[in-house]
Structure 1
Amino acid sequence: MALYSAAAAVLEGLERGDGGIKTLVYNSRFPHVRQLYALVAETLRYSPVLEKLLAGAALLQAEKKLPPQLAKVLVYDLLFGKGLKCGGRWKALARRHRARLEAELARLKVQQKVSRNEDLLAPAQAASPGASQVPRYVRVNTLKTCVDDVIDFFKRQGYSYLGEAASVEELRALSGKKFLLDLHLPELLVFPPQTDFHDNLLYTSGHIILQDKASCLPAFLLSPAAGSHVIDACAAPGNKTSHLAALLKNKGQIFAFDVDTKRLATMNTMLMRAGVTGFQLAQQDFLTVDPRDPKYSRVTHLLLDPSCSGSGMVTRVPGEEAAPSPERLQALAGFQRRVLSHALSFPALRRLVYSTCSLHREENEDVVHAVLQEQGSAFRLVNAFPSWPCRGLAAFPGAECCLRASPADTLTHGFFVAVLERCREGAAAPSILPVAAEENPQRREGTEPGAAPKKRKRKKQRVKE
């Protein structure tokens, strides 16, 4: 019941104008913010349809004590979502009206001459192209378990394991209770779209992390060696931070920054559940962090995923700005240039990953190009992950070293990643040109991106049902 009540409270806050969806979700104190965000977003997306169903079935007239926003959430999950897996007495109430609601839904489809629920949505409310085809990606948390054990666990739950994928097309063809090992990332399992693991034991115990594949790229490409000191500059909600900890094998130190206290509190809970140690969270604007502070004298790796337009997210919420104005883009790009320049000023820094979930060149290639020009020959772009199919836009010489991701081409959210490395002393290579035959550090460990990972050893700790 807590989930539905929390979702209804967020919807009521939106109606009153108390804040945006992200702010209200994070302020809700609900422990699973992504689950709550997804339910609110989908309820909002179907809101006009839900209002017609509620009116046609006269549900609010029949159940006068049922709050309207809670009614929307319940009817969404009953007819379009997971079928009311929780809900207590409200669940029983909604199910009493199920036949009438389903009849009203069928009548609405006939009236609009459509056969699919999605077709009931107006173009402005429909999901972006590719949203329904993005698989459910599951990152195995190697701090607590290993890939083989997680595969065995899912097989015992009735899932069919099809082995390692050979192409993106194999991921696209997934359906039912089948899953694959990803073809690019060695600890990523791939399930059909909309597969829900929020109530699964592996998720609630921190053995798996629900994280889009594109979002896994920054930490994977930063690839800090165990024992390194790393900064996660804009860290909340913490998935990338937990990924860094897994790559570090909990050896070394992670400094994570975010300006929002409640987001950091949620992040702390998530990191503890994932078994992350050796991290320091700070409620601080990264731009105010002093690179000369002795505390950061050993920081060699830095992950920078700053605020952006979010235009690459395939599940946008109605009312969010899908196409930011030129003024908004200019402001974002200005902030991103400042924070990237600041990040490169840490004296011991050797490698940095800059990433956004934006599709706009202004926030991506243009930011990287401008900052590299400021740096002279101090830093250069790395031609990392050469097997990745989508490259940066041809905005400047060497921009093809950057990576892009999209629902259509990579079956992920829209994303941008650039890897920068400090030039060796005395090197005279222009900073905007790619490093020739640059190797990703993962290769030295036998897991070259795009190649089959070496055989994984089973860990002693096993996942038990």
Structure 2
Amino acid sequence: MALYMQAAAVLGKLQAKRGAVKTLVYNSGHKNIKQLYALVCETLRYASVLEEIIGMTDLLKKEKKLQINVAKVLVYDLLFGKGLKCGGNWKVLMMKHRSQLKSALARLKVKRKVCNNEDLIESKTSGTKDYQLPRYVRVNLLKTSVEDVIDYFKREDYAYLGQATDIAELKKLAHKQFISDPHLSELLAFHPKTDLHKHFLYTAGHIILQDKASCLPAHLLNPPMGSHVIDACAAPGNKTSHLAAILCNKGKLFAFDLDTKRLATMGTLLLRAGVACHEMANQDFLLVDPNNSKYKDVKYILLDPSCSGSGIVNRLNQMTDDEESSGKQRLQALGAFQHKALCHALSFPAVERVVYSTCSVHREENEDVVEKVLEQYGSNFRLVNLMPSWPCRGLDSFPQGPRCLRAILNETLTNGFFVAMLEKQNGQNRESLAPVKMEEENPEESSPPAQTKKVKLKKM
């Protein structure tokens, strides 16, 4: 019962603009912060749907003691969550109305002409109604080939539209249509409402559901087969599996993360994806000793550190008009951490190339961090001019900003993202570097190394 009451209290304080989601959750004193945060976030996502269902069933009129925010939380968990695994008296009360609530949900789906719960959610992010994100699918080259995956979907009556020439074509996808991404050869794009979570290719690890912007860091780092690589903040593991595919499972991939549960989830993901070249460690990357002989051959590092997440479409601070979450003090703290992590990555003796990325739109976490690092390491590392024809560049307020990439929903059809790559200069071991992926128009240069073994897919 305490979980639901705490969640309802947080919702009430959000409505009164008494703080940010994370701040209110962490200050709640609840014993399981992650569980509370997840429940609040998901209830907010479904808020308009929950209000409509509550109205359709006259729940508040029938249960006079039930407040609206408590009702939202309970109805969410009953219909969309874990099914009221706890709740005490509240659970008993809600179970009396379970049939009516489920019936109201079914009627609402019919009314809106949708099949899935997710499709009921209406985006409140400015511009997302016209620019919904496609369902991006990265083909896992460790298990199959792009050609085989395309053929599999075609045999399921999906219409393949070929190779896209620009992003505009991704906006025109209809149901049961898909297209090859114009920039990443192993990436396919489907209609935004395509649900593949239960599809055989996903459950078998042949495809990875991953936003396009999230694919850029590993794609651009492009470590050659057999090299030693560090994924500094690895969980939940999509980028790690991408790196392993580029490495063809050859070499060594060190993956660090401080969150034990996320690391366990990552282990499951990597097992499903067929990753075998990795070594996971439940360790803070900042505490990893660069001079440890284990890492003497590490030349490539992917650093995607904790950030504000302000670039994620439908983010909570956009849905709740929360301004505190992007406050200067918090951004400065994040920027300081990110700066420290990037400096640490550059301190590995053999490192030749470091990709720094965030899912943030804030300058303090992006250009400011890179600029500050270059002031310290500019004599040894240069900023690579990444994919010059990519439409969105870093901010001009940073002189070398145009060498960096930004991803913006309406312009790139991805979540908001930032990517920069620092490469060792002055001829220091430069001959060992794989070509930097700079131009996306050449599909041969943007493809990971060919796989020696591929599983022929057969329609189940």
> Would you say same fold, with TM above 0.5?
yes
Q: Could you tell me which residue of structure 1 aligns to residue 426 of structure 2?
A: 424
* 8 Å CA contact 1:147, 1:187 repeated in 2: yes
CA contact (8 A) 1:241 1:256 kept: yes
**What's the offset of the Cα at 1:99?**
7.2
**1:16-52, Cα deviation, whole Å (9 max, x unpaired):** 77957xx979769xxxxxxx97x98564233255234
2:443 match: secondary structure: coil
What's the offset of the Cα at 1:320?
8.8
- 1:245-297 per-residue CA deviation (whole Å, 9 max, x = no partner) reads 00000001111111111110011111111000121111111111110000100
The one-letter code of the counterpart of 1:245 is A
1:71 and 2:70 matched? no
Determine the C-alpha separation between the residues in 2 that align with 1:98 and 1:208. 31
Cα distance in structure 2, aligned partners of 1:394 and 1:299 = 33
**Alpha-carbon offset, residue 172 of structure 1:** 1.0
Q: Residue 284 of structure 1 aligns to which amino acid in structure 2?
A: Q
Residues of 1 paired with 2:378 and 2:196: CA distance? Answer: 47
Question: Partner of 2:14 in structure 1?
Answer: none
1:198-277 equivalences in 2 (<5 Å):
198-277=197-276
State how 1:391-430 maps to structure 2 within 5 Å.
Answer: 391-425=393-427
Distance 2:109 2:283 in 1: 50
- In the alignment, is the contact (CA less than 8 A) between 1:312 and 1:358 conserved in 2? yes
1:53 deviates by 2.8
| Per-residue Cα deviation, 1:112-134 (whole angstroms, up to 9, x for no partner) | xxxx9777xxxxx8234337511
Q: Following the alignment from structure 1 to structure 2, what is the Cα–Cα distance between the partners of residues 425 and 441?
A: 15
- CA RMSD in angstroms, aligned pairs only: 3.8
Change in 2 beyond 3 A, CA 1:405/1:59: same
The residue type equivalent to 2:200 in the other structure is L
Task: Report the Cα offset of residue 173 of structure 1.
Answer: 1.0
Deviation at 1:395, TM superposition (A): 2.4
- Mapped partners of 2:380, 2:394: distance in 1: 21
Is 1:463 matched with 2:440? no
1:208 and 1:11 map into 2 onto residues whose CA distance is 36
Contact 1:403-1:416 at 8 Å conserved across structures: yes
Q: In the alignment, is the contact (CA less than 8 A) between 1:10 and 1:25 conserved in 2? A: no
Q: Equivalents in 2 of 1:210, 1:278: separation in Å? A: 21
Paired residues of 1:135 and 1:171 also in contact (CA < 8 A): yes
The structural deviation recorded for 1:9 is 11
User: Following TM superposition, by how much is the alpha carbon of 1:236 offset from its aligned partner in structure 2, in angstroms?
Assistant: 0.7
Distance verdict in 2 for CA 1:56–1:14, change over 3 Å? same
The 1:40/1:127 distance shift into structure 2, 3 A limit, reads farther
Code of the aligned partner of 1:157: E
Partner of 2:292: 293
Aligned equivalents of 2:197 and 2:287: distance in 1? Answer: 36
2:441 equivalent in structure 1: 450
Query: What count of residue pairs does the alignment treat as equivalent?
Result: 408
Cα distance in 2 for partners of 1:238, 1:201 equals 20
Percent of paired sites with the same residue = 52
Change (3 A) 1:362 1:100: closer
8 Å contact from structure 2 (residues 357, 418) kept in 1: yes
Aligned residues of 2:257 and 2:281 also touching (Cα < 8 A): yes
Q: Any stretches of 5+ residues in structure 2 without a counterpart?
A: 11-23, 64-70, 82-96, 113-118
**In the alignment, which of 330, 346, 358 is matched to residue 328 of structure 1?**
330
Offset from partner CA, 1:70-129 (integer Å, 9 cap, x none): 53356679xxxxxxxxxxxx99765544576579x89xxxxxxxxx9777xxxxx82343
Displacement of 1:321: 4.9
For 2:190, the equivalent position in structure 1 comes to 191
CA distance in 2, matches of 1:238, 1:393: 29
Summarize the Cα distance change of 1:186–1:177 in structure 2 as closer, same or farther, 3 Å threshold.
same
2:370 is the counterpart of 1:371: no
